[in-house]
Structure 1
C-alpha cells in the first residue's frame, strides 16, 4: 500500500479553508499605546494599568494551566485510539475526551498607557497565486497548462472522469458546493474573490476540491503512474497536432512526477518541495483541462480507497467524504466510523490541534461530531442550488 502521507492534511490549514480565522490567543504581553494616550499617561493611570495587568496575567495563567491539561488529554486519547486501531481493537467513548475545551472568560488584556518601543510589523509569508504558478510552470518545465474554452468544458471533463473512477454525482457536486460556495471556477483560489476588491489569498488551495500545493505534489508522486496511463490512453485516441500536443504534455507530467518522487513519500517532505518554484509549477497542473480533473478526482478517490482498505465498505456520504477531504483520511475516518449515538456526544475538539481549534468558529459553534456533520450537510444543501453546482450536476 502506498504511503498514507497524502491523507495528512494540516488541521490549521483546514481551519483557514472553513472560515476566516479568529484572532489567535496571544501570550501574556502588554499592548502598546500610541499617540495622545501615551502622552497623557499619569501616575494614577499607570498604577491602574499595572493592577489590571496583574489581574489579567493571573487569570490567563490559570486558564493556560487548565487548557494545557485539556489539550494534553486530547493528544493522549488520540494516541490511545491510534494504538487500539493498529491492534484491531474496538474504539469506545472512553477513548475520547467527552467535555468541551475550556474557554477564557477572565479580564481582558489592558492597554499600556506608557509609550513602548515599536516593533517592526510581522512579515506575512507570501502565498503564490495563479499567475505565480503559471510563471513557474513556464520557467521550470517550459509548460503552459491547457485552459478550458469554458468553465462548462472543465466541469464536463471532471464529471466524466469522476464517474469513470466511481465517484457519485452526489459526492462530487456536494463537495464542490461546500468547497467553492456553489459557484467556483476551476481556478478559484481560497481567499480570492472578484466580488471583493483587494482580497488576498489565504492559502494555495485551488479548484473544485481546493487542492493545496502539497496535495498536487503528493498526488503526482503517488498517483502519477495512473495519471500518465490515463493521459496515454487519451493520446492514443488523438491524431495529428492534437496528439503531438498531448505527447508533449505527457513528457512534462512525467518529468514533474519524477521530481515529486525525488523526496521521501511523506507529507512534510512534499510540503517542503511544494514551496519551491518547481513545486509551484506542479501545482499549475490543477489548471490543465486534462490533468486538473484527474488530480481533483484522485484527491477524493484516495479517501474512498483508504476507508475501504480499513474495512469500511458502506458508501460515504458527501459530508463524510468532505470530513476526510478536509481533515485527512485518518482523522476523517475516525469521525465517519463513529456510531450516531457517539457522534452526538463526542466533542469536535478531539480531532484538532489546539491552535487549529481555537481559530475555527465552525468547530467551536458546532461542537460535536453530529453537529459538525449536520452543518456541513446544511451548507451543501444551500450551495447545491447555486448555478455553478447545478451546472456540475448537469455535467454528470
Structure 2
C-alpha cells in the first residue's frame, strides 16, 4: 500500500481551509518513514538493561561519552543553524509566490529556492553509558473498520451497504466517476498508486491481508484512502451534491430498495449537519474525526451508494480547483495525485510549472521541514520532475496488478 506517509506529514498549513490534504494516503506508504534525525538517536534500552549498564559504566567510559556528546552537539548546532536559514528561505519564497499569484504576476525560477536542503554529515549521537530508564511509550490506538462500523451503528443506527463482491463496488465507483467527469486513466492510476493496485473498498492504510499481525497506521480507507478528516470535510463541503445524487437515485427506484435508500438519506443528512456544525477548517474536523461520532461518519466510505460519491468528490475537488485558477488542461493522474496529497494550492504550483523549471526546482519548496525529513522518496527524487516521474512509474507498475485491471474493466 503506497500510502504510508503523507496524511498529516505532507499536509501544508497553506492549503485551502476548505479542503486541505493529508494527508490521501499514498505519499504515505510511498512517503512516510522515520525521521533521519530520530534515526541518529539509539532506541531506549529496557529498564533492567539500562540499570545494569549504568552500574557497569566506568569513569573512562563516562568521560569519553561526554567528550563525544560535546562534539555531536556542536556539529548539530551548526547544521541546525544552516537548516533553519534554509527552511526560513523556503517559507519566504512560498509567501512571495502566493502574493505574486494573487496579483496575477508571472512566477519565475527566482521565486523558488534552487539549492537542495543541507544534509547533516557530522558524528552520530553517542550512546549514554548511564541512561535514565524510560518507561515504554504507550502506542496510540488507531480505529479500524470494525470500530467505524460499531460507531455508525451506535451513534447513527446505520450499517453501510457493502458489496457482495468487490467488482460491484468497482462498477459503482466507475459509474460515478464517469458521470462526474473523471477519466478512467485518472481514477484507475490514482487507485493503483493509493492501494498498490490490489485494494478493496475497505482497505485500510497499514493493514494487509498478506501480512498477519500488521497494524493500521492511519484511518485512511478505500480506493482513494480517505482519512476520517477527509470524509468530514467532504460532507461539509459537498453534502448538498451528495444528497442530490442520492435523492436522484431514489427517485428512479421503487418498493423496498427505494425505502432503504430513503432511510440512508436521512442518516446522511444527520452526518452532513454534524460536519457543518463545527468551524470549516481541517484541524477542527480532525478533532471530530478522533471521536466515535467521527468514526461513525467515516463508515460512509464503505457504503456502495455513498462511498463512490465521496471518493470521486475527493479527486474532483482538485480538478475543479485547477479550472477555477485558469488551468484548463486535463490533469495527468500523477499531477492529480500531487494535488490530492499535498493540497490544491501546493499541488497546482507544481502542475503549472514549465518543464524546464520542474527539472531544477527542489521538492523541498513544497514541504514543511518536518514533513520533508520524513519523506525518503521526496528526498531521493529531489526535483519536481523526478517526483512526478517516480509517481508515474509507481502508477505504471501497480496498474498491472489484478485490482487495477479489474477497475479499468469496470469503466
Q: CA RMSD in A?
A: 1.9
- The 5 Å alignment of 1:30-179 reads 34=50, 36-114=52-130, 116-179=131-194
Q: Which residue of 2 aligns with 1:195?
A: 210
Change (3 A) 1:15 1:182: closer
C-alpha deviations, 1:362-383, integer Å up to 9, x for none? 0000000000000000000011
- Whole-angstrom distance in 2 between the partners of 1:101 and 1:79: 18
Hey, what's the Cα distance between the residues in 1 that align with 2:403 and 2:338? 22
- Aligned to 1:113, what secondary structure does the other structure show? coil
Instruction: Report deviation, 1:20.
Output: 4.1
Counterpart Cα distance in 2 of 1:27 and 1:378: 28
Q: Which SS does the other structure have where 1:206 is aligned?
A: coil
Instruction: Summarize the Cα distance change of 1:319–1:83 in structure 2 as closer, same or farther, 3 Å threshold.
Output: same
What CA distance in whole angstroms lies between the structure 2 residues aligned with 1:174 and 1:328?
18
Figure out how many residues of one structure are paired with residues of the other and give that number. Answer: 393
Unmatched 5+ residue regions in structure 2?
A: 1-14
Return the offset for 1:265: 1.5
Residues 301-316 of structure 1: matches in 2 within 5 Å?
301-316=316-331
Report which stretch shifted further, 94-103 or 32-41.
32-41
Query: Hey, what's the Cα distance between the residues in 2 that align with 1:37 and 1:269?
Result: 46
Asked if 1:223 corresponds to 2:238, the answer is yes
Contact persistence 1:31–1:111 (CA under 8 A):
no
Separation in structure 1 between the aligned mates of residue 202 and residue 26 of structure 2, nearest angstrom = 19
Give matches, 1:333-372, under 5 Å: 333-372=348-387
Tell me which moved more, 131-140 or 33-42: 33-42
Distance in 2 between the 1:12 and 1:98 partners? 27
Q: Greater CA deviation, 157-166 or 262-271?
A: 262-271
Q: Decide which moves more: 124-133 or 332-341.
A: 124-133
Give me the whole-angstrom Cα distance separating, in 1, the residues matched to 2:21 and 2:84.
23
Deviations 1:128-165 (A, max 9, x none): 11011001100111000000111000000000010011
For residues 103-145 of structure 1, give each alpha carbon's deviation from its aligned partner in whole angstroms, at most 9, with x where no partner exists. 111001101112x332223333321110110011001110000
Asked whether the 8 Å contact 1:11–1:352 carries over to 2, the reply is no
1:83-113 residue CA offsets vs partner (Å, 9 max, x unmatched): 1111111111111110000111100110111
How many angstroms apart in 2 are the aligned matches of 1:198 and 1:71? 39
Q: Within 5 Å, give how 1:22-37 maps onto structure 2.
A: 22-23=34-35, 25-26=37-38, 34=50, 36-37=52-53
Determine the C-alpha separation between the residues in 2 that align with 1:178 and 1:12. Answer: 11
Distance between the aligned counterparts of 2:43 and 2:325, measured in 1?
50
Question: Quick one: structure 1 residues 197 and 96, their matched pair in 2 at CA, closer, same or farther if it must change by over 3 Å?
Answer: same
Where 1:231 maps in the other structure, the secondary structure is helix
CA–CA distance in structure 1, aligned partners of residues 25 and 137 of structure 2: 19
Q: Per-residue deviation at 1:197?
A: 1.5
How many angstroms apart in 1 are the aligned matches of 2:24 and 2:254? Answer: 47
With 300-309 and 123-132 compared, the bigger mean Cα shift is at 123-132
Change (3 A) 1:12 1:356: farther
Find out whether 1:238 has 2:253 as its counterpart: yes
Residue 318 of structure 1 corresponds to 333
